[in-house]
Amino acid sequence: MAKREDDLRTPGELLGLASEFNAGRGSYCHDGKIYASLVGIRHLIEAKQGSDDLRPTIEIRREKERDAVPEAGSTVTAKITKVQARMASADIVCVGPRAVKEKFTGIVRQQDVRLTEIDKVDMHSSFRPGDIIRAEVISLGDSRAYYLSTAKNELGVVSAVSVAGATMVAVSWQEMQCPLTNQREPRKVAKVVTSNE
């Protein structure tokens, strides 16, 4: 079976209905629906002849293609490691839906945090170490790091942990709130993109 980009699945992605398919390796069944449990290529395996169950089995097999490498224009997921006055450093963990195998470092410069009022951007109010961000690779930068941008609405912090240790919830494009203490913290928050937008 040819590996096509549209056969690539990510964890939690709906694969089909349990009434039509069996869940195989790399997938699981919940509430009558089958979901992917890992990143990989979707495969359909026909039922064996003479079997009582004629439903094909859906499997997700890990991709054996080339390693994921950031390129200009690609969307990446990264973890902020250090925040300074004019930039934030991050370790890139995914390119699109694919996890990276080697270490890639990214830098979000002050002028690449948002589109407006660039001179008023405060890096410490935009990111904190440990934040998970969605960003776009704008250039290969220097030999040590890729230059990343969070200037689009759908880019920015997607996950952050509060001082109390809870996963925070976005309350606006520039604030996240701790569900335990209701304390708000500033961030450059990524707008949640839904499939019907």
Give the pLDDT score at 143.
67
Query: What phi and psi, each to the nearest 5 degrees, are found at residue 17?
Result: -95, 145
Q: What is the pLDDT along the chain (197 residues), one digit of tens a residue?
A: 344 445 788 888 899 999 999 999 889 888 999 998 888 888 898 988 888 888 999 998 876 555 678 888 999 999 999 999 999 999 999 999 888 888 899 999 999 999 888 888 999 999 999 999 999 999 987 667 899 999 999 999 999 999 889 999 999 989 999 999 999 999 999 987 544 44
Q: Residue 29: what residue type?
A: C
Please, are residues 188 and 127 in contact by the beta-carbon 8 Å criterion?
yes
- Residue 66 has what DSSP assignment? S
Handedness of CA 5, 11, 12, 18 (dihedral sign): positive
Domains in the chain, CATH or no CATH each:
5-61 (2.40.50.100), 75-186 (2.40.50.140)
Q: DSSP states of 77-146 as a string?
A: EEEEEEE-SSEEEEEEEEETTEEEEEEEEEEEEGGGS-SS-GGG--HHHH--TT-EEEEEEEE--SSS-E
d(CA 116, CA 183): 26
Give the pLDDT score at 43.
87
- The predicted model scores a pTM of 0.64
Please, are residues 76 and 94 in contact by the beta-carbon 8 Å criterion?
yes
